[in-house]
Structure 1
Amino acid sequence: MQFSELITTLEGLHQQLSQQAARQADQLLTLRNYLFGFYIVEFEQHGTDRAAYGQQLHKRLSVELQKHAIKSVSDRSLRQYRQFYLTYPQIWQTLSAKFKLPDFDLIRQEDVTSNASIDKDLPTLNPSLLLDRLTYSHFVELLKVDNPLLRRFYEVEALKNNWKVHELNRAITTLLAERTSLSTDKAAVIARIQENQPTGLEDLIRNPYLLEFLGLQEKPEYTENDFEKAIIDNLQDFLLELGRGFCFEARQKRISFGNRHYRIDLVFYHRILKCHVLIDLKIGEFDHADAGQMTVYLNYYKANEMSAGDNPPVGIILCASKDNSLVEYATSGMANEVFVSQYLAELPDKEQLQAFIERESRSIND
């Protein structure tokens, strides 16, 4: 062996073992958070002094754990760990054998059974695959999906396609499951997630609005332009979904500041509130910059578009998903009225999507 070959061998060994160490650290972090969630639920249900803590449990627990220099134990994080355990009770089945956990007998099987019943009709998926190949950051994204069938879709596709966290986030926030169920070429829709192309919808909702009236026909792929056109074509139904008093004024309303031009997606006038309502459609997840952009629109309308007797304009940001804490911090203290709502697309055929997930699951489990 030459010296250069020795360097190459040692470098490769270092990289391989470093990656394994990082992966093991990720698994242990996932395990820690899951067990935190279990013991919190166990205390809430069976702790002898649980009544003394009540709704303040997570906050008080957070304070005490931080005194012991334990990281990532904020009130919000602890609630998330609790949700992690309740959403994935089936993971517990693999923990004892895989990690030789002590005190397995502490688990109350009636709790596991009652939670597991949520998933009894879903396509089967080996829980050990989730632990082996998904990081806790993946699970954080999956916990945002309330519908168990849709969540299973994202689990299967994340495993099959080795999605990174940002790819999984993009799939969820652009409603990939719903769009896949509407498309005849499902593989093409899924493949676009791993391409750097926009694939989301631009829908509207009332937190949430379910756009049943769009009457979408099957086609190989759906894009945001398809949904926007469907909304405009069904404007009367959309106005009914918004509620009483909305009168349509403009689509893609252009406003200018010097040589810079911006477009407001939809503009309405509310005849009862006597104010303009500006709607900004967001393809993916709400970001704090969206609130700032809406503030610019509202200030422009306040200065240039208000008539005598009008009240100040209202802004609605419609997005595929949102973090309520971020929304609160991004909009708190604003003089203008800014609302952030979430939209949902209709799931046209549950059986069709379930059959698709079952086929995908078999390719992973085999």
Structure 2
Amino acid sequence: MSDRNIELQKDFISDIKKIISSARASAIRSIDFERVRMYWRLGERIFVEEQEGKERAEYGSFLIRNLSASIEPEFGSGFSYRQLAFCRQFYRTYPIMNTLRSQFNWSQYRLLIQIDNEDKREYYELESANNGWTGRELERQINSGLYERLLLSNDKESVLAVARKQRTPELPTEIIKDPMVLEFLGLKRDATYYEKDLEGALITNLQSFLLELGNGFSFVARQKRILLEDDEFFIDLVFYNRLLRSFVIFEIKTHKITHADIGQLQMYVNYYDRNEKTADENPTIGVLLCADKNNAVVKYSLPEENKTIMASKYQLYLPTEKQLLTELKREMDDLE
């Protein structure tokens, strides 16, 4: 058989494999969505039956417990009291079946219905759909307080407008989060390590880091070498954001940042603006990813019209809701 025929045979086999894989994926999605529809119908039926009770709260609990005891032995743990309670909550949260998203499975909807705040729930639903998050990725974003962290530097309306695709982000603060949560690195919060170690861990976990960075990021370079006359410098990490249409430079500091750190990053940003970016691209963004920062030092080390240099603290653990609220209050106090 000639080389040409061998290549054609390989292409043919590859196409067949793609057809099979695509069909299997579609079948799984179809089964997952039928499960979602089943739980919605169960929730609707439970809710309608519940309204017949005179003391609804007590009757509802009794109804679900009795129903679970009747059907769980035959149909399994998918119909436990807790699961059936989720079904009722599911229907009450999404009372119109046609609004359900066919790409979502039950685990994703179960996470969403546990979010009481409607704006917050809508944000996670839209972002999950826009970015194709799995159930695990959605859970991680909720647990890391993504919505609250974006609100630290943005108003609610702009955050939702971006998620609804009603507007394109224009400022770094609409995408770059502060703090950034890097719990996926598995580093101990009290460990001492060098900047190169943190950088290496980020590259090793690049997919997770891109998920934390958010919409529109792609990796460009690590330890990007630049030569200024006889002196050479190395930029820690370089990304590109297609929504902002600009390069995004990250410098990693495992200490509390100083004005000298900010000056170094400003030099790198200036270099990229003058040598790398094209005329139709927006100015380069610089981010100091640091262990700690002094907002006043950052503020007075930069010109008042600065819109391209940012400092973002990193956390090696998932924040609690209390920590996020405290951080939000502190940021608002700094703006006053």
Q: TM-score range by the shorter chain?
A: 0.3 to 0.5
**TM-score, normalization by structure 1:** 0.43
**TM-score, normalization by structure 2:** 0.46
